[in-house]
Amino acid sequence: MEAKAQWRFARISAQRARFFANELRGKSLEQAYEVMQVVPQKSSRYWLKLVESAVANLKVLKENDVDPAQIYIKDIFADKGPMWKRWIPRAMGRATPVAKPTAHLTVVVAEL
């Protein structure tokens, strides 16, 4: 049995999210929590919330018949989302474009 959680339009670039996602792929739930709580990167907070949501989804599917020691991260990935396009004022009446990236984050957890 497996469960999935998605976070669409997360305010982080997909590249930064992927860097941390590669560290979590295939790890057990306890190992993943240890890594996510120690690492000071912004993406670790995003992934922590998403993994907790996926585990909650798994508990609903299995009707609370889940052993946390048997859960692992089966698949985790970050896809590129749309760019927010903004402008910032510059000298002499000019403006410079600012691209604010978003990402679609997905976690799939499963039982051993």
Domain of residue 50, CATH code: 3.90.470.10
CA proximity to 30, closest of 69, 73, 76: 69
pLDDT of residue 53: 95
Whole-angstrom CA distances from 6 to 30, 91, 97, 104 are 21, 41, 29, 7
Contact at 8 Å (CB) between 103 and 81?
yes
State pTM to two decimals: 0.87
Domain range for 26 is 2-111
pLDDT-derived band at 5 (thresholds 50, 70, 90) equals: very high
pLDDT of residue 64: 82
Instruction: Provide the number of structural domains found in the chain.
Output: 1
pLDDT at 103 over 90: yes
pLDDT digits (tens, 9 = 90+) for 32-81: 999 988 989 999 999 999 999 999 999 998 888 888 889 999 999 999 99
pLDDT of residue 65: 82
